Structure 1
Amino acid sequence: MPEMTFQVRWPDGAAQHCYSPSLVMHDYLRVGADYTVAEFVDRTGRALAEASDRVRAKYGFACTSAAATAEQIAHAAARYPAAAVVRVVAMDPAPVPS
């Protein structure tokens, strides 16, 4: 199963590198896009749950790394107002152009 990383910049300029066990993040986030903290937490939470479900379907168990990433994002997000802006600065591998 292909995995990926993505990097975000929080409202105070802090960078966070995140992991996903699936390329599904491309369905939820775009490089260069800004999201409110609330929307970012929602999008990444749904994407990481879907990624974990894909791992479960393939290997028979949930992905603890996806759960850990969602927890790290939620923990970081708690420092900011829900309406503050998060920017997605990189995704690796990059999405394949359609």
Structure 2
Amino acid sequence: MPETYWTVRWPDGQEERLYSPSTVIKELFEPGTSYPLPDFLHRARIGLERASNRVAAKYGLACSAALDQLDRIEARSTDFNGQEGAEVTLLGISD
């Protein structure tokens, strides 16, 4: 299963490289696109849960790294709760 890395810019301008054990992220995000924070979180949840499920289907165990990444994304997003118009920009995706 090809690992995928995706780089985002958070609303505070900080960039972060994120991990997915699957290319499913490419189905949900478009490089160069900014997503309102709630939409970004929704897509990230879907993508990382699907990625974990794909690993489980292939290897019999969910991918803890994908679920850990989702936990980190959700924790980071709390920094911007209540910030009207907060957006996350997807800078790029690489295999």
Q: Which consecutive residues of structure 2, in runs of 5 or more, have no partner in the other structure?
A: none
Counterpart AA for 1:58: K
Consecutive aligned runs of 4 or more in structure 1 exceeding 2 Å deviation: none
Q: Which consecutive residues of structure 1, in runs of 5 or more, have no partner in the other structure?
A: 94-98
Asked whether the 8 Å contact 1:36–1:82 carries over to 2, the reply is: no
Asked whether the 8 Å contact 1:37–1:86 carries over to 2, the reply is: yes
Question: What TM-score does the superposition give when structure 2 sets the normalisation length?
Answer: 0.94
Give the corresponding residue for 1:60: 60
Shift of 1:45: 0.5
Q: Indicate which of 74, 88, 91 corresponds to 2:90.
A: 88
Shift of 1:59: 0.1
What is the aligned residue count? 93
Task: Please give the alpha-carbon distance, in whole angstroms, between the structure 2 residues aligned to 1:34 and 1:15.
Answer: 13
Asked whether the 8 Å contact 1:37–1:82 carries over to 2, the reply is: no
Identity between Structure 1 and Structure 2 (%): 35
Question: What TM-score does the superposition give when structure 1 sets the normalisation length?
Answer: 0.91
